[in-house]
Structure 1
């Protein structure tokens, strides 16, 4: 910890620096810009330090949206907190003589480099707004919280309001991927699911999924994607995280059911979780509590969902999984060395590189093929919950898959028996909210490469893929390492605490 000081804005790297007070009307050092007789702007360790006659304050570089010198005026846009979980654009402006243009532009360049770091500036955004999401509030939130921040950061915006379910699939299937850097889904998780699948339908699916970052502004009832990648379910804070987001490869899962192949980015569930979500649609007035109600009522009722299950296990054993998580957390590869980073895609990739191909071939075949070699169907007559996740948070207060990683090439599989005691069921539910589910002895947790599940002894039921209902029929899943691209705050981890 740095030594304490009466001046809260002393740069710990250079404690003797006086914040520019000795600068007068000239440049004292490269990091300080005099903007008046007794005012200056200083590039501190992690903040822009604004010294003025009235007050002194620090604006984190993360909050700096843009800066430019035009018409002899330096303008700095930044995200200013307006409430506990909301930011909005604000601006500083200072006049300059024309003689200082070159020096000011150099300082501005340094400010922007510090403010964006590994993130791309001035992203080109295809924005999709579902006006029915968030009980009809998504469009209002977009205009109030999202668009002003994107414009203040000089993002290029092409916004479309979706009119019906599935339209985002059609839009992204035909998207000019050379004209955009990201798709911004302003809705619940369902719209992001459509975006991934639209890109996945293309003849150049690999290239599209690598080049276009799929991002999410939380405007629906299910906002897991934003919680994992941006660490928030606030539309404005998520937008700021997208503006500053770092390209991150994301594992995607192929689901085959009947003759259909679907991409999943979030989760697949059969049993309690699927019913808690899909069978409580009539309780939407309860908000997020409807999931808890559905989950608790089925756990206490000892509901079981018999099935046959075959799994290709990669890591089994909770201690081994924790060690795997620690290794991956410490293995941070710079964005410029990752497949999917835009600078790599600017090279004219040839078809031989695989970027012009469609989706990767299925290593384990489809649900209609013979069971893959080495797989064994095992009956689970007392299964209560089958839940496979690709992200940690399934809701803002449900870190269901704490060891999940964006790009480790594995799916995280949880299985819970349906005949556990009522006390154990309640303890398990509380463990989800306290991030202790992973360590619960009644929870089977595995890292897997693929699985096949066949529900039985039920004429109908609920299967959820990324929160969307699919036919109640057998399906098979396998993971594709780093097939998709998203923007995250860290560039390689989810914004969720790991396994305890």
Structure 2
């Protein structure tokens, strides 16, 4: 993957004795001629040929069946592929109690903050992408879930909008996770289905929504799992840490719905929705759509009103670093959200529907403190609360899951074809933030009023009518699973000292 060096979960050098003095109770003697040792970052298997180090992140489960200790783990067979493997050894009868205690320590190291034995409702979209989701789930995902002792309930979606119905009717006490084997469309439906429940806020807090990348657009997996590999994403879900995430209310006409990823108007929306007929090209269709519109120098005039919270890139950089430095538990961050601004997303009384809209709807008068600017030469409007818009495209390097803001990027005014091509290259190389042609702001709400003939408006990759719409953010309303429980994967805004 270009733009940054992805973390390799399989690399874990075996520590030498001069660096790590292992306590005696960290080692379990097995088969009389082998041992299992709990190292700093990995399980070290001695007595096998060759000696192995299995990163704790890869350990799925361990148990003692009579006198046989069985450890299941994710074994890499290629750069982006893992399969379930296991090792087993016999322990002496006299060591049985000690083996059980050792297994408990191994699982503590393997899971840390992550919940074990997750109860997962799996939704498989057999129509999305290339139609391979059922095959990929059975081959790459389900074996990892089962080896990790997850409870799995599988249902195939039958039609567009089916996941909305499933999520609206689901019993939130039966599951911990709703996992979408799909592109980004199914998570969008699931968030909106949960948002329709009478106790929407409780449901959105209790059920973590995740994506297992089986579609054309897999932005959610890139942001939270750091991959579009189905097997690596399955492992990321097994080990994922519950993380609160901001959601966005969209109002248009008399409708209100939730957005978890992005809203776009102009060249990005055109590149996405305007190339649906070219899905067979994969991600190359976005490049084709971009180049076609750049050459034509297409503009999309509109009126834009924004509630700006941070409009200086230096201040955004400081805000980002402060959030990154503040690592707190899920419960503490939930509590902080309520204390800091209880009108945004109070939690978690029974029977609570979605939060009231602070700024009204798209048909109400504009709030007095919003800044309205006619945009005669709008080239691109893109707003979101995740870092990636697609693979290798970290459009929002300052995005954070839980800072109560949307990230807004606009290209204001007419620019040359050469400059536009340079912007495209800068996105792939994570140079958008410092490019002066990109206007980057942290906002809590906006209203976009398109002009002219019918065109494309995209909400989470879904087309909505060509009409005025309004957006406002809800701090920590949703719940997802992430690898670190704190921030998105991939490249971020560099510190001032390193920029």
Tell me the TM-score range normalised by the shorter chain: over 0.9
Alignment of 1:191-206 (within 5 A): 191-206=186-201
Q: Secondary structure at the match of 1:144?
A: helix
Contact 2:124 2:182 in 1 (8 A): yes
How far does the alpha carbon of each residue in 1:359-400 deviate from its partner, in whole angstroms, 9 at most, with x for none? Answer: 000000001111112224321010010100110011111000
CA distance in 2, matches of 1:36, 1:444: 64
CA distance in 2, matches of 1:305, 1:487: 37
Which residue of 2 is the match for residue 297 of structure 1? Answer: 292
Which residue of 2 is the match for residue 491 of structure 1? Answer: 485
Task: Give, in angstroms, the shift of residue 336 of structure 1.
Answer: 4.4
Which residue of 2 is the match for residue 14 of structure 1? Answer: 20
Task: Give, in angstroms, the shift of residue 417 of structure 1.
Answer: 3.1
Task: Give, in angstroms, the shift of residue 165 of structure 1.
Answer: 0.8
Contact 2:202 2:347 in 1 (8 A): no
CA distance in 2, matches of 1:158, 1:340: 32
Task: Give, in angstroms, the shift of residue 355 of structure 1.
Answer: 4.7
Residue 93 in structure 1 maps to residue 88 in structure 2: yes
Contact 1:249 1:486 in 2 (8 A): yes
Task: Give, in angstroms, the shift of residue 418 of structure 1.
Answer: 5.3
CA distance in 2, matches of 1:295, 1:274: 10
Q: Structure 1 residues 12 and 150, CA, compared in 2 at 3 Å: closer, same or farther?
A: farther
Which residue of 2 is the match for residue 412 of structure 1? Answer: 407
Alignment of 1:305-324 (within 5 A): 305-324=300-319
CA distance in 2, matches of 1:471, 1:237: 36
CA distance in 2, matches of 1:325, 1:353: 27
Alignment of 1:351-500 (within 5 A): 353-417=348-412, 419-458=414-453, 460-500=454-494
Contact 1:249 1:340 in 2 (8 A): no
Q: CA RMSD in A?
A: 1.7
CA distance in 1, matches of 2:48, 2:314: 57
Task: Give, in angstroms, the shift of residue 82 of structure 1.
Answer: 1.3
CA distance in 1, matches of 2:165, 2:14: 53
Structure 2: gaps (5+ residues): 1-12, 337-345, 495-499
Task: Give, in angstroms, the shift of residue 327 of structure 1.
Answer: 0.7
TM-score normalised by the chain length of structure 1: 0.92
Contact 1:303 1:419 in 2 (8 A): no
TM-score normalised by the chain length of structure 2: 0.92
CA distance in 1, matches of 2:422, 2:259: 30
Structure 1: gaps (5+ residues): 1-6, 18-27, 342-350
Contact 2:182 2:212 in 1 (8 A): yes
Task: Give, in angstroms, the shift of residue 353 of structure 1.
Answer: 4.3
CA distance in 2, matches of 1:9, 1:78: 20
CA distance in 2, matches of 1:370, 1:395: 35
Contact 2:35 2:45 in 1 (8 A): yes
Contact 1:217 1:239 in 2 (8 A): yes
Contact 1:12 1:45 in 2 (8 A): no
How far does the alpha carbon of each residue in 1:83-140 deviate from its partner, in whole angstroms, 9 at most, with x for none? Answer: 1101010011112343322111100000000000000000000000001223111111
Task: Give, in angstroms, the shift of residue 52 of structure 1.
Answer: 1.2
The count of residues paired between Structure 1 and Structure 2 equals 473
CA distance in 2, matches of 1:190, 1:14: 47
Q: Secondary structure at the match of 1:367?
A: coil
Match of 1:122 among 117, 124, 127: 117
